[in-house]
Amino acid sequence: SAVISQKPSRDICQRGTSLTIQCQVDSQVTMMFWYRQQPGQSLTLIATANQGSEATYESGFVIDKFPISRPNLTFSTLTVSNMSPEDSSIYLCSGTEGAANTEAFFGQGTRLTVV
Amino acid sequence: AQSVTQPDIHITVSEGASLELRCNYSYGATPYLFWYVQSPGQGLQLLLKYFSGDTLVQGIKGFEAEFKRSQSSFNLRKPSVHWSDAAEYFCAVGAEDSNYQLIWGAGTKLIIKP
């Protein structure tokens, strides 16, 4: 399966600032997803990012807070804007070829701490 | 609505003992089923998947899972666990009519006793 390089792996940020997380895939993928994972919890989908169109956000997540770019089929970014301590979490990007019979593969995650 | 239930938040087993992690799903049509493992500080790695065909699927690291449609279950098993299996295990369901988004269970943390 494809490999996703996600960076940064971790960061400590001041409240009120923004952080951009990057994911680079070693092959073209149709769909990319961004998740948030609170400590000890499951994955919560933030948005689906498709190339050439705006991201589709899940309930509770908005573009102003989590702008996403998907300029091509191998790259995507998620920005966490105007951060507060409540944004401290692990952020994961995922890719899939878009068919249900292919699995999703994941980046290593970004552990974000907002102080 | 689709949902995935992993009823066990934690499971503790002795090294060398057998393991079964439970997963139940709710979905009207035939789901696509996955088990992922997340080691501490790591991303998620696919253990195995079921789409169709043989209901007993083999995965990596000696894991297997059995799809039971009548019970809406997809339990993960391993005959003999190793200390390196200590991790968080997630069951997930995908479907074509949901744009292939995965619905995730809450996860089960596996603790291995020496």
SS (H, E, C) chain A: CCCEEEECCEEEECCCCCEEEEEEECCCCCEEEEEEECCCCCEEEEEEEECCCCCEECCCCCCCCCCEEEEECCEEEEEECCCCHHHCEEEEEEEECCCCCCCCEECCCEEEEEC
Tens-digit pLDDT profile for residues B62-97: 999 999 999 999 999 999 999 999 999 999 998 766
Chain A residue with Cα closest to B91 = A42
Enter the DSSP assignment of B2: -
> How high is the pLDDT of residue B41?
78
> How high is the pLDDT of residue B96?
67
Sequence-distant (6+) residues with CB within 8 A of B38 are B44, B45, B87, B88, B89, B90, B107
| Alpha carbon A87 to its chain's center | 13
Q: Are A42 and B43 a contacting pair at CB < 8 A?
A: no
What's the pLDDT band for B48 if we cut at 50, 70, 90?
very high
Give the one of A41, A101, A109 whose C-beta lies nearest to B51's C-beta: A101
At position B112, the amino acid (one-letter code) is I
DSSP conformation letters of B52-102 = SS-SEEE-GGG-EEEEEGGGTEEEEEESS--GGG-EEEEEEEE-GGGTTPE
Q: Are B44 and A45 a contacting pair at CB < 8 A?
A: no
Chain B residue with Cα closest to A1 = B46
Tokens standing for residue B12: 């503790």
Q: How confident is the prediction along chain A (115 residues), in pLDDT tens digits per residue?
A: 789 999 999 999 999 999 999 999 999 888 899 999 998 888 999 999 988 788 999 999 999 999 999 999 999 999 999 999 999 999 999 998 766 557 889 999 999 999 9
> How high is the pLDDT of residue A100?
58
> How high is the pLDDT of residue A52?
79
Q: Are A100 and B95 a contacting pair at CB < 8 A?
A: yes
- Closest residue by Cα to residue B11 from B80, B112, B92, B114: B112
Does A67 contact B at CB distance below 8 Å?
no
Distance CA A20, CA B24 (A): 36
At position B75, the amino acid (one-letter code) is N
